[in-house]
Amino acid sequence: MVYVKAQPGDTSDSVIRKFTRKVIAEGLLLEFKKKEFYQKPAEVRKEAKKEIARRQKARRRAKNRQ
Claim to verify: residue 45 and residue 30 sit in the same structural domain:
no
The model's pTM = 0.57
Percent share of the chain, pLDDT over 70? 100
Claim to verify: residue 42 and residue 15 sit in the same structural domain:
no
Amino acid identity, residue 61? R
Claim to verify: residue 17 and residue 42 sit in the same structural domain:
no
Claim to verify: residue 1 and residue 31 sit in the same structural domain:
yes
Claim to verify: residue 1 and residue 24 sit in the same structural domain:
yes
Q: Which domain holds residue 61?
A: 38-66
Structural domain total, the chain:
2
Claim to verify: residue 22 and residue 48 sit in the same structural domain:
no
The number of beta carbons lying within 10 Å of the beta carbon of residue 26 is 12
Distance CA 28, CA 62 (A): 29
Half-sphere exposure of 18 (CA within 13 A, CB side): 12
Report yes or no: 23 and 29 within 8 Å, Cβ to Cβ: yes
Span 3-30, average pLDDT: 93
Q: What is the pLDDT of residue 23?
A: 93
